[in-house]
Amino acid sequence: MTISDTPYIDAPLAQPALNNPPKLGAHLIADGVDIAVEAPHATNVWACFVDPDNNHAEHRVALRRGLYGVWAGHIAGITAGTFYGFRVDGRWDPAAGHVYNPAKLLLDPYARAVGRTPIIDPRLYGYVMDDDHTAHLDQRDPRDSVEVAGLGVIIADEPTACAHPYTPWDETVIYEAHVVGLTKTLPGVPEELRGTYAGLGHPATITHLKSLGISAIELLPIHAKLSEPFLIHKGLENYWGYNTLSFFAPEPSYASAAGRAAGAQGVIDEVKNMVAALHAAGIEVLLDVVYNHSCEAGTDGVTVSWRGLDSSLYYRHDSTNPGALKDTTGCGNSFDFRRTSVIRMTLDSLRYWVEVFGVDGFRFDLAVTLGREGDNFNPNHPLYSAMATDPVLSTVKLINEPWDVGYGGWRTGQFPVPTADWNDRFRDTLRSFWLSEPAAIVHGGHGSDLRDLATRMAGSADLFGHGRLPGGRGVHASVNFVTAHDGFSLNDLTAYSHKHNDANLEDNRDGSDNNLSWNHGVEGSASEAIMTMRRKSARNLMACLILAAGTPMLTAGDEILKTQHGNNNAYCQNSPLSWLDWELGEHEENMLATTSFLLQLRREHAVFRPTQFFTGSPREGDALRDMEWLDASGNQMQDYTWFDPQARLVQMLRSGRGISRDALVIINGQAQAEQVTLPWGRGTDFELMWASQWERPREHTEHIAPGGHLTLAPFSVAVLLGGSVES
């Protein structure tokens, strides 16, 4: 079928929308559906209702042009479960950024369910794409895409979801996970539910999260996605999901077979049930969301939605070359957050997921793009002002990935209240101190001094303590992490000095080369002596992550020494390489016990969960300073010592201020064992709770008097509690 034999002009005109003003998207009302879409530069817009089981029979209705470029209408006889899309006509002028093509069926940007994910095919492109993948960007393609296009599904408006846990920031521990990877092999989850929303909400999954001490699970994107053509041609897929097809519809492939068989509503219900089950266990659900770009890629990408509606409205275009897109995401396109339409779509999507699905917050991928006004980043961007003042969004957790790949794209600490940031300075400092610098030290070199490490352990006040508010954005604005979905796992940080991404079929060119990792002498498999050192390094990193001031984020699998065999960019690996392996040996069980113990320590002792930045002075009549840095002899660190790269041992004494026991964390970043003299503190014994040289937490503790001695192993951490909680 081609444009010439498709009777668009003869399509009947829709009745006026019953909603006034019309609501974007498709909404059942009265005897049919109100439908509206924004396409200001279009000359004609048709709502198309498709029956894929009947040779893709299509019922087309012309929509009415309204104010501000919104096309809308009411169509009688349309019911829930109907598949639909849009066809849009207008200028074909690629050099000016207009690429309208009515032969292409377009997914509604506000579709709340996807009945069919687009099928990569030459017909999916607005321009002529030959079968040999040769692109003719100046030629409008006449072939109809109805058989391969994405299809939205009409669903009934959903009621508001259940109440949120609203976990305080100081009690928040985030666990970043993938719906599929977390449960694909998890014992206790029925086979038919593994790797699904239902599997994630299953009691076996929740039991692991609760026993570990997790308060919030941050899910890699569950918005409907489309894998990139180059991956499809290699037989791979975009496993992580950072290639969004719809900001309102959940990814259908993550639903169980039973959920998918129940249709679009079945998928939605499974997501809602997953969230409700996690809420019942007191666990918040945070979503990783990708509003910075879409799956349509660059100017040579597919036409599945926004591009065909109005590329110049939704995407950033080069002002000197309107036919070219400006890309600050590295994915081919970037949404233009100078546009009210883009901001409204983002806010509408966020509120929908909070109100209908019940999610408790969001992590914004490449968030600097969301705050750009043209080429410049505005920390008080209208989008962020809107979220901060929105009665719904201001009550949930908002977390930024504070960078993109554009000019001036690194903005850690520069986003506004009430949002938090992934703290990459924390990540890099901890990796350097425990891995790349020890690698240099054991080979005769030296590491850095203690200043940066101390700053990160104390909450990164240099990044988050500034601003008009006292205390700036606050200590919990720092989301501390050592690993995330992209990059080495915690285990692999200690086992590989170089990436090994051959399985991605990109000749090992993809993924970062700046890993700050250390293989401890041998790449990959090693002797038990080396493996022992690696496990201690992993425990050092885990302890500092959990006990530092700020909000800790763990990556799923780090608690069981997950390996990806050196792949630091497993975005296209929906395979055992990415899935968690739940067949645990002794060392994996030990790491799980260690992580659980450290999180329990944090949970039970408020001294590890400060709500304000430290001042270095006593507070409220306390005899101890709120934070004190001491040397190996138990005396206050001398100023010059902070600048000595050879002085890599420090005692961090935190006051519990009568609310909690005091905490003493001793860090030995030296290649030799060191005897430490414990400080006076409150004049009472310290209790040795944990040391990273232990493979597993000990059942019995050791009491050491002030002025007593403790020997720390090379490159290790010890945690002690002192004083007592006042009655």
Active-site residues: which are they?
365, 401
| Nearest by Cα to 1 from 209, 108, 211, 146 | 146
Structure tokens at 230: 């180059």
Report residue 554: phi and psi, to 5°: -100, 150
Count of residues making up the chain: 727
HSE of 105 in the Cβ direction (CA atoms, 13 Å)?
30
Q: Is 675 exposed, middle or buried (0-12, 13-18, 19+ CB in 10 A)?
A: exposed
Distance, CA of 106 to CA of 307 (rounded, Å): 9
Helical residues (DSSP H) of 138-296, grouped into ranges: 179-183, 197-200, 203-212, 229-233, 257-261, 264-280
Distance, CA of 74 to CA of 488 (rounded, Å): 52
Q: Write b or e for each residue in 302-318: b if 16 or more Cβ atoms lie within 10 A of its Cβ, otherwise e.
A: bbbbbbbbbbbbbbbbe
CA distance to 12, 34, 84, 424, 644, per residue, from 15 (Å): 9, 9, 17, 53, 77
Report residue 15: phi and psi, to 5°: -70, 160
Q: Residues 161, 272: contact at Cβ < 8 Å? A: yes
Q: Residues 520, 534: contact at Cβ < 8 Å? A: yes
Distance, CA of 122 to CA of 145 (rounded, Å): 9
- Quickly count: other Cβ atoms within 10 Å of residue 118's Cβ: 22
Report residue 155: phi and psi, to 5°: -130, 160
Letter for the amino acid at 591? M
Distance, CA of 286 to CA of 265 (rounded, Å): 22
Q: Residues 634, 674: contact at Cβ < 8 Å? A: no
- Maximum CA pair distance of the chain? 92
Q: Residues 565, 500: contact at Cβ < 8 Å? A: yes
Q: Which residue has the tokens 């026991």?
A: 661
CA distance to 200, 242, 339, 378, per residue, from 166 (Å): 20, 27, 32, 29
Distance, CA of 597 to CA of 706 (rounded, Å): 25
Distance, CA of 328 to CA of 215 (rounded, Å): 33
Structure tokens at 467: 């601003």
CA 161 remoteness from chain centre: 22
Helical residues (DSSP H) of 226-366, grouped into ranges: 229-233, 257-261, 264-280, 306-314, 340-352
Distance, CA of 260 to CA of 9 (rounded, Å): 36
Q: Residues 181, 172: contact at Cβ < 8 Å? A: no
